[in-house]
Amino acid sequence: MDSPSPKRPHAEFESQSDDKDRISCLPEEVIGRILSRLTFREAQAICVLSGRWRHLCTSLVTDLDLDRLDLSEKMEDKPELAEKERARYVEWVDNVVHRQSGGDHALRRFALRFDLNMSYKSRIDRWIRFALAKQVKVLELDFRPVSTEDLLGGCLPYLLGHETLMDADVRCPHLGPSISWHVGFTYLEELYLKRVIVDGEFIEQLLANCPVLERLTLNDARTLNRLRVSGQSLKLKYMRIACCDDLEHVRIYDTNLVSFTFVGRQCLLRLNKLPQLSEVSMDGCLLKLVHEWLPKLSSLPFLQILKLEFIYSRRYHQRIPHQLPKLTSVKQLQLRVKGTGDLSLLPLTVVIEACPYLRSFVFELTDPWWIPNGEGRELERVVRPLHRYLKEVAFYNYYGRPCDLELVTYLIASAIALEKLVVNTCDKEYVSGEWKKLKEPRERALQQLKGKVPLKIDLVIN
């Protein structure tokens, strides 16, 4: 007999021959605990084994995670196979929904994660109404396409709109949209949409009609052009907008948002009267960030955590401003920089300077490749006001290039209150389709920094 789990080499198995089905005799609340530690698919494996387990699955499972994204690779660029898998996915979901419709316990989470599109609208609508009828708290639709062709616009994505909330039998065209809202929306706390078409007005009405909606993510919402989030009565606290390529105008004002994340290239952002907004993350074009978006943030009086991510290349190098409006409330700054080569990172210190009361700074390089050529270059310096409150600095993926050392040297010199410097070195690189371990960055870091940093700074090199 083979071991049920490779982690348990000492387990004895004589017990398996004594014929007792002890797991089925456990108290229901214990079974509930075990099932809650399994994904829905894993729980299904045990629940098809007996009537009791099927009943337990229906009544105790509260998270329906219908995720078959693992099939994406198999389906990629094979349209006929992909259609077959879609048909099977739909049949599977139909069965699960049918089984679960019987019980009267509420659902906590309902997630559909598969490459589905507009052709399946009527089924998807039905499934969403099922979930709402079950008072679901977390609703997730992730319909990311598997093929590049579809990704670039070949296939029409599923559209979530008012029709989803109306029963097929209802014929009341004269009633306004506000009347048709499914009662289930009163329980919705979190909504994640990926590759789903929604329009700005629908989102606005959704926010107005969901009394407890706290989290909203819109990812790859094609055709979404304008978005407005405002109102003191809204419960929305966390919002993430990513890769909505047609989005031109986002206005968030007079509401109690706590955290906002934006990933995108071109967009007009207006953020005003947001007294609770303490965390902002932005991933976009560096120039857009520094010239347009960052200045807007200075009107947020309580912004504490700022995270920025961008590509850094020669194209931007010369066009970074020398000064930015001050963000006086920011205490934590994180820069995640995508770029290779040995381009000086010092122009980016303008962002650090814009946060005069900064306490903690994190700098992460994503792919810092560089081929050293002989001597290396002379390190540049930049003169900026001293940082009086910056106490902690952490580097991720330090590579040991002159530009990396240049930036660390700058921080050591200008952060006069610096207490802790953590340098995590790059320990692997992706070469010819696989990850290769690296030792040189750590060796360079040790050679460049160990013993060369003022004693009062606690230096940690990983």
State which residue, 20 or 377, has the beta carbon closest to another protein.
Answer: 20
> In the bound complex, what is the minimum distance in angstroms from residue 127's beta carbon to another protein?
16
> Of 368, 414, 357, 417, which Cα lies nearest the Cα of 392?
417
> In the bound complex, what is the minimum distance in angstroms from residue 124's beta carbon to another protein?
19
State which residue, 94 or 163, has the beta carbon closest to another protein.
Answer: 94
Indicate whether 38 belongs to the interface with another protein (CB under 8 A). yes
CB contact at 8 A, 333 and 351: yes
Query: Using CB under 8 A, which of 77, 91, 223, 326 touches another protein?
Result: 91
Residue 285, CA distances (Å) to 249, 281, 329, 371, 377 in order = 16, 13, 24, 26, 28
Indicate whether 88 belongs to the interface with another protein (CB under 8 A). yes
CA distance 451 to 458: 11
> Of 257, 323, 304, 310, which Cα lies nearest the Cα of 282?
310
State which residue, 16 or 148, has the beta carbon closest to another protein.
Answer: 16
91: part of which helix (H) or strand (E)?
helix 79-102
Q: Hey, which residues does 177 pair with through a beta bridge?
A: none
State which residue, 87 or 431, has the beta carbon closest to another protein.
Answer: 87
> In the bound complex, what is the minimum distance in angstroms from residue 43's beta carbon to another protein?
8
Q: Residue 133: is it exposed, middle or buried by C-beta count within 10 angstroms (0-12/13-18/19+)? A: middle
Q: Hey, which residues does 196 pair with through a beta bridge?
A: 158
> Of 196, 195, 246, which Cα lies nearest the Cα of 225?
246
Task: Give the range of 42-50, 152-160, 357-365, 440-448 binding another protein by CB under 8 A.
Answer: 42-50
Q: Left, alpha or beta for 453 (phi > 0: left; psi -120 to 50: alpha)?
A: beta
Query: Using CB under 8 A, which of 58, 65, 92, 317 touches another protein?
Result: 92
State which residue, 47 or 346, has the beta carbon closest to another protein.
Answer: 47
Which 43-82 positions form the footprint of another protein (CB under 8 A)? 43-46, 48-53
State which residue, 65 or 204, has the beta carbon closest to another protein.
Answer: 65
State which residue, 88 or 450, has the beta carbon closest to another protein.
Answer: 88
- In the block, residue with structure tokens 């200045």: 295
Indicate whether 102 belongs to the interface with another protein (CB under 8 A). no
Binding residues for another protein, how many (CB under 8 A)?
Answer: 44
> Of 453, 445, 359, 459, which Cα lies nearest the Cα of 413?
453
Residue 229, CA distances (Å) to 213, 215, 252, 435 in order = 13, 13, 5, 43
CA 171 distance to own-chain centroid: 39
Task: Give the range of 85-93, 119-127, 306-314, 398-406 binding another protein by CB under 8 A.
Answer: 85-93
> In the bound complex, what is the minimum distance in angstroms from residue 98's beta carbon to another protein?
10
Indicate whether 322 belongs to the interface with another protein (CB under 8 A). no
Task: Give the range of 21-29, 133-141, 433-441, 446-454 binding another protein by CB under 8 A.
Answer: 21-29
Interface residues toward another protein, by CB under 8 A: 1, 4-5, 7-16, 18-24, 26-27, 29-30, 33-34, 37-38, 41-46, 48-53, 88, 91-92, 95
